[in-house]
């Protein structure tokens, strides 16, 4: 009976993939996308994750977990598996899986979807699972500590530098997405500005007036948040108020930088903690709402399965399908950042070893499903509209007429009236050239929501989606700046001890300014970039995130080999090889490609000739050229750090396999669980 | 009608998922394992939670 059910699930998945792949030239229902994804997840979870759990990791429910042995009623705390699933999912899901697929939709929905679904089953979920497993066996140690102890000190420091530099780029890209979504939008700016006093109010509630009452404060915060959303409409429609909340890109960029600095030096309870609660709540709520909307409406996919831009001439970002589809979609398929979460709070809360399978592997499948939904939300847009929102303003020209004309030459039809009509219907002055993915995702979500839960509220849904994205991106910005500050202080502490003291105010301000200044620099660079910034910064982020995943997979492979399971080491080595192929190719092309749209250095050379010919002003040209070279240098640093980690790991593996070195596993010793199983 | 115990379980689950402190849970733990120690006030507990939550490792993803 069971066999028949599994055969049926596999068959449904396979047929859905067939439908997705073979339909050309007509719209098909998003149901096929959902069925193909879910069928593949179920088969992957049932068979592959079980193989990993039983054969490779040998999870043992008789072995007491850190949560049981070190239970302190707080961070180490046995938690039931579904609650922990929610906790882990809330920690790994973010803007990444929502934005990446929307950008990669320029190739059509099919390539991205294949990578999201098969990438997660064979690579992303394996990475999360192996790191969670390793950390669980080591009392919840972090990725960096595991790299240091199991591979070597050089690898440990390299991993730390990788994390810090990835963080800087990540924060810059995320901030850029928010700025692009909010520029010239009084409704959005008002709503997001309101979240700051709301958070401070919640902070005082929890800390001063009603200490510890976090649930009360969060409930109040949520009510106020919705009031701010409605208030935004009033502000946007009021001609005397609207100008107060209408800002250009650069002005918003400096405001975000100032905010990030404040959030990093202020006490956490005042800003960071309340925003963290609000954004986590909103995140889970909106993702559930989005799933319900897509399943209720099952909207038709209007974007083609494949577009002509697989040849690398796409307007959203430069580069061919290989490797750039796999760089652009980082988080939904595999995300190095998850290795930090999987070796953070989650391993300290596992009640039983066996739960690691549902939480590590299953949690990542869920994240991948979020990415599939984001892809569906982008694919419900008319292709013409999709490109009107996502192509840079410099390519489209400034007006709806010019944009419609440019998009027509790409083979998609859209009228100027459609472009202006859509902007008016969501309560914005214009949607043209709003690069970054968030606005087009919000339009897609608003269309799905208004179909599912009532027509006519489309403007409200749009701003609801924008608020949700901006809220949790800004929270990542707060938290990330703070973590970056701690890491920098730890590194700086090696140079001069007082700098390492995280409670010493001068050191705080110094390190905060460095971190915020770091991402702030790239943010301003992106805002002033004539091509919109996402073009150059998103691939940098993708490359760095995938390279961090490569570091995590190296650690995972080391753990597997040291456990004497070298014959199964392919489970992490195969994804590692793929990631290296993708990121090294992309890195090479971003630096050396002769196409100035793609290669940083050839772009700099083009600018140089423009300056020489007098068509580009010299100081502006010098700044753009410097930025190109800086971006190229950054790629060189990423690639060098990761090659260092990979080579030092491979050396360690060879030594162990040739028995030149004993395989010393630094797991905590076995203690029998006191729980009845 | 959900019972009081069910409501409490639900609230506890929400707290865990959002990463909120759980004072009641902590008191239970202290009574179970360190019954002789003095119990912290809710305010003291919240302070120590704040200190331990935002340490050196990121707890949220992109």
How do residues A492-534 score in pLDDT, each as one tens digit? 777 777 777 766 788 888 889 999 999 999 999 999 988 878 8
Q: Which residues from chain B sit within 8 angstroms of residue A272, using beta carbons? A: 54
Q: Which residues from chain A sit within 8 angstroms of residue B12, using beta carbons? A: 83
Q: Which residues from chain A sit within 8 angstroms of residue B56, using beta carbons? A: 142, 483, 486-487, 490
Q: Which of A74, A475, A476 lies at the smallest CB-CB distance from B52?
A: A74
Q: Which of B14, B26, B50 lies at the smallest CB-CB distance from A269?
A: B50
CB contact under 8 Å between B21 and A214, yes or no, is yes
CA nearest neighbour of A651 among A585, A574, A557, A570: A557
Collapsing DSSP to helix, strand or coil, A63 comes out as strand
CA distance B12 to chain A (A): 9
CA nearest neighbour of A487 among A53, A171, A273: A171
**Residue A532's CB: how many other CB atoms inside 10 A?**
26
Taking the CA atoms of residue A90, residue A92, residue A97 and residue A98 in that order, the dihedral angle to the nearest 10 degrees is: 30
CB contact under 8 Å between A337 and B11, yes or no, is no
CB contact under 8 Å between A276 and B50, yes or no, is no
Instruction: Enumerate residues 6+ apart whose C-beta is below 8 A from B12.
Output: A83, B22, B24, B25
- Tokens linked to A84: 């922990």
In the stretch 600-659 of chain A, residues with CB closer than 8 A to chain B read: none
**Residue A143 near residue A552, CB atoms below 8 Å:** yes
CA nearest neighbour of A521 among A160, A96, A163, A169: A169
How do residues A591-645 score in pLDDT, each as one tens digit? 999 999 999 999 999 999 999 998 889 999 999 999 999 999 999 999 998 899 9
CA nearest neighbour of A317 among A20, A613, A533, A126: A533
CB contact under 8 Å between A486 and B55, yes or no, is yes
Indicate the angle between helix axes B4-18 and A81-92, nearest 10 degrees.
Answer: 30
Longest dimension (CA), chain A: 79
**Residue A392 near residue A315, CB atoms below 8 Å:** yes
Portion of chain A with pLDDT greater than 90, in percent: 68
**Residue A174 near residue B61, CB atoms below 8 Å:** no
Nearest residue of B to residue A267 by CA position?
B50
Q: Which residues from chain A sit within 8 angstroms of residue B25, using beta carbons? A: 73, 77
The mean per-residue pLDDT over the stretch A295-314 comes to 92
Q: Which residues from chain A sit within 8 angstroms of residue B58, using beta carbons? A: 167, 337, 340-341, 344, 479-480, 483
Report the distance separating Cα B24 and Cα A622, nearest Å: 61
| Low pLDDT (below 50) residues in chain B | 62
- Torsion over CA: A121, A123, A128, A134 (sign): positive
Q: Which residues from chain A sit within 8 angstroms of residue B40, using beta carbons? A: none
Q: Which of A91, A206, A487 lies at the smallest CB-CB distance from B60?
A: A91
User: Which helix (H) or strand (E) covers residue A635, if one does?
Assistant: helix A618-657
Q: Which residues from chain B sit within 8 angstroms of residue A88, using beta carbons? A: none
Distance of CA A368 to the CA centre of its chain: 11
Instruction: Enumerate residues 6+ apart whose C-beta is below 8 A from A99.
Output: A177, A374, A436, A437, A438, A441
Q: Above 90 in pLDDT, residue A453?
A: no
CB contact under 8 Å between B15 and A214, yes or no, is yes
Q: Above 90 in pLDDT, residue A556?
A: yes
pLDDT of residue A517: 95
Q: Which of A212, A218, A341 lies at the smallest CB-CB distance from B42?
A: A212
How do residues A661-677 score in pLDDT, each as one tens digit? 888 888 999 999 988 75
- Tokens linked to A20: 């997705």
> Rounded to the nearest 5 degrees, what angle is found at the Cα of A394, between the Cα atoms of A320 and A601?
50
- Torsion over CA: A363, A367, A372, A373 (sign): positive
pLDDT of residue A211: 87
Q: Which residues from chain B sit within 8 angstroms of residue A74, using beta carbons? A: 21, 26, 48-49, 52
Collapsing DSSP to helix, strand or coil, A28 comes out as strand
Cα distances from A669 to residues A64, A66, A83, A138, in angstroms, run 10, 11, 27, 9
How do residues A305-363 score in pLDDT, each as one tens digit? 999 999 999 999 999 999 999 999 988 899 988 888 888 889 999 999 999 999 999 99
Report the distance separating Cα A542 and Cα A324, nearest Å: 9
CB contact under 8 Å between A87 and B16, yes or no, is yes
Quote the ipTM score.
Answer: 0.85
Longest dimension (CA), chain B: 44
**Residue A10's CB: how many other CB atoms inside 10 A?**
16
Report the distance separating Cα A220 and Cα A223, nearest Å: 5
Q: Could you tell me where the DSSP H helices lie in A71-185?
A: 81-92, 96-104, 109-119, 125-136, 143-150, 153-182
Predicted TM-score (pTM) of the model is: 0.93
pLDDT of residue A530: 81
Q: Which residues from chain A sit within 8 angstroms of residue B33, using beta carbons? A: 71, 73
CB contact under 8 Å between A93 and B15, yes or no, is no
How do residues A118-168 score in pLDDT, each as one tens digit? 999 999 999 999 999 999 999 999 888 899 899 988 888 888 787 888 889
pLDDT of residue A443: 94
CA nearest neighbour of A527 among A537, A518, A540: A537
DSSP tag of A29: E
Q: Which of A22-36, A42-56, A436-450 comes out lowest in average pLDDT?
A: A22-36
Q: Could you tell me which residues are beta bridge partners of residue A672?
A: A63
Q: Which of B16, B23, B57 lies at the smallest CB-CB distance from A79?
A: B16
How do residues A160-192 score in pLDDT, each as one tens digit? 787 888 889 989 999 999 999 999 999 999 999
CB contact under 8 Å between B60 and A74, yes or no, is no
Instruction: Enumerate residues 6+ apart whose C-beta is below 8 A from A586.
Output: A319, A323, A324, A326, A327, A539, A542, A543
CA nearest neighbour of A367 among A79, A142, A116, A543: A116
How do residues A531-547 score in pLDDT, each as one tens digit? 878 888 899 999 988 88
Query: Most B CBs within 10 Å: which of A89, A213, A214, as the mutation test of the B interface?
Result: A214
Portion of chain A with pLDDT greater than 70, in percent: 99
Q: Which of B23, B45, B58 lies at the smallest CB-CB distance from A344?
A: B58
Does residue A216 sit at the B interface (CB-CB below 8 Å)?
A: no
Report the distance separating Cα A598 and Cα A577, nearest Å: 24
Q: Above 60 in pLDDT, residue A243?
A: yes
Indicate the angle between helix axes A186-204 and A458-495, nearest 10 degrees.
Answer: 60
Using a 10 angstrom Cβ sphere, with 0-12 exposed, 13-18 middle and 19 or more buried, the burial of residue A399 is middle
CB contact under 8 Å between A341 and B61, yes or no, is yes
CB contact under 8 Å between A483 and B58, yes or no, is yes
What mean pLDDT, rounded, does chain A reach?
Answer: 91
| A257 or A91: which leads in pLDDT | A257
CA distance B40 to chain A (A): 12
Q: What is the per-residue burial (b if ≥16 Cβ within 10 Å, else e) of A297-321? A: bbbebbbbbebebbebebbbbbbbb
pLDDT of residue A534: 86
Rg, C-alpha atoms of chain A: 24
CA distance B30 to chain A (A): 8
CB contact under 8 Å between A345 and B59, yes or no, is yes
Strands A28-29 and A300-301, by their bridges, are antiparallel
- Tokens linked to A445: 């979500």
Does residue A170 sit at the B interface (CB-CB below 8 Å)?
A: yes
pLDDT of residue B61: 52
In the stretch 44-73 of chain A, residues with CB closer than 8 A to chain B read: 71-73
Nearest residue of A to residue B52 by CA position?
A75
The mean per-residue pLDDT over the stretch A364-370 comes to 95
In the stretch 505-564 of chain A, residues with CB closer than 8 A to chain B read: 545
Report the distance separating Cα A612 and Cα A543, nearest Å: 33
CB contact under 8 Å between A74 and B56, yes or no, is no
**Residue A68 near residue A351, CB atoms below 8 Å:** yes
CA nearest neighbour of A438 among A246, A225, A174, A242: A174
Nearest residue of B to residue A477 by CA position?
B62
CB contact under 8 Å between A75 and B52, yes or no, is yes
| A455 or A405: which leads in pLDDT | A405
Q: Above 80 in pLDDT, residue A214?
A: yes
């Amino acid at each position: 009976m069971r066999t028949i059910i599994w055969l049926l699930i596999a068959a449904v998945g396979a047929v859905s993939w067939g439908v997705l792949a073979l339909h050309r030239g007509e719209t098909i229902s998003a149901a096929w996308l959902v069925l193909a994804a879910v069928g593949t997840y179920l088969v992957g979870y049932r068979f592959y994750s079980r193989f990993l759990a039983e054969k490779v990791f040998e999870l043992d429910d008789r072995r007491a977990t850190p949560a049981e042995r070190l239970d302190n009623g707080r961070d180490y705390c046995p938690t039931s598996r579904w609650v922990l699933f929610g906790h882990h999912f809330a920690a790994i899901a973010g803007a990444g899986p929502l934005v990446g697929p929307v950008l990669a939709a320029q190739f059509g929905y099919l390539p991205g979807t294949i990578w999201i679904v098969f990438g997660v089953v064979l690579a992303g979920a394996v990475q999360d699972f192996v790191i969670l497993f390793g950390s669980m066996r080591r009392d919840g140690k972090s990725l960096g500590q595991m790299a240091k102890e199991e591979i070597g000190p050089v690898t440990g420091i390299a991993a730390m530098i990788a994390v810090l530099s990835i963080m800087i780029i990540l924060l810059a890209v995320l901030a850029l997405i928010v700025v692009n979504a909010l520029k010239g939008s009084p409704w959005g700016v008002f709503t997001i500005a309101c979240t700051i006093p709301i958070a401070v109010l919640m902070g005082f509630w929890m800390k001063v007036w009603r200490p510890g009452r976090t649930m009360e404060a969060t409930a109040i915060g949520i009510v106020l948040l919705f009031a701010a959303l409605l208030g935004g409409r009033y502000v946007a429609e009021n001609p005397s108020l609207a100008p107060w909340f209408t800002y250009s890109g650069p002005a918003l960029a400096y405001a975000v930088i100032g905010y990030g600095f404040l959030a990093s030096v202020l006490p956490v309870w005042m800003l960071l903690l309340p925003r963290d609660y609000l954004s986590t709540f909103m995140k889970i709520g909106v993702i559930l709402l989005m799933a319900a909307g897509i399943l209720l409406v099952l909207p038709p996919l209007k974007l083609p399965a494949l577009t002509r831009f697989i040849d690398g001439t796409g307007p959203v970002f430069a580069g061919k399908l290989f490797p750039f589809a796999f760089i652009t979609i980082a988080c939904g398929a595999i995300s190095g950042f998850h290795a930090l979460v999987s070796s953070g709070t989650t391993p300290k809360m596992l009640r039983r070893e066996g739960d690691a399978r549902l939480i590590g592997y299953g949690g990542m499948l869920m994240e991948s499903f979020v990415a599939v939904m984001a892809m569906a939300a982008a694919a419900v847009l008319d292709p013409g509209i999709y490109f009107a929102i996502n192509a840079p303003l410099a390519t489209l020209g400034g007006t709806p007429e010019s944009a419609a004309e440019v998009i027509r030459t790409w083979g998609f039809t859209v009228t100027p009236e459609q472009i202006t009509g859509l902007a008016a219907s969501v309560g914005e002055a214009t949607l043209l050239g709003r690069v970054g993915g968030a606005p087009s995702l919000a339009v897609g979500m608003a269309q799905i929501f208004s179909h599912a839960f009532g027509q006519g509220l489309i403007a409200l849904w749009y701003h609801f989606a924008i608020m949700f994205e901006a809220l949790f991106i800004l929270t990542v910005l707060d938290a990330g700046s703070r973590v970056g500050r701690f890491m920098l202080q730890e590194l700086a502490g090696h140079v001069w001890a007082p700098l390492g003291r995280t409670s010493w105010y001068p050191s705080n301000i110094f390190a905060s300014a460095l971190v915020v200044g770091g991402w702030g620099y790239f943010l301003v660079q992106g805002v002033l970039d004539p091509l919109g910034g996402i073009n150059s910064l998103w691939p940098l982020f993708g490359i760095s995130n995938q390279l961090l995943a490569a570091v995590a997979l190296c650690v995972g492979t080391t753990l597997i080999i040291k456990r004497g399971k070298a014959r199964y080491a392919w489970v992490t080595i195969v994804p590692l090889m793929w990631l290296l192929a993708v990121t090294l190719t992309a890195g090479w092309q971003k630096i050396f490609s002769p196409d100035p749209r793609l290669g940083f250095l050839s772009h700099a050379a083009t600018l140089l000739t423009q300056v020489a010919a007098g068509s580009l002003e010299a100081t502006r040209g010098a700044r753009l050229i410097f930025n190109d070279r800086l971006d190229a240098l950054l790629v060189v640093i990423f690639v060098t750090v990761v090659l260092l980690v990979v080579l030092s790991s491979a050396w360690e593996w060879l030594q162990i396999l040739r028995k030149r070195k004993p395989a010393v596993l630094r797991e905590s010793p076995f203690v029998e669980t006191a729980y009845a199983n | 009608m959900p019972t009081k115990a069910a409501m409490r379980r639900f609230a506890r689950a929400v707290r865990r998922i959002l990463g909120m402190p759980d004072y009641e849970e902590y008191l239970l733990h202290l009574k179970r394992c360190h019954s002789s120690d003095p119990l912290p006030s809710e305010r003291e507990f919240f302070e120590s939670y704040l200190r331990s939550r935002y340490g050196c490792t990121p707890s949220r993803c992109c």
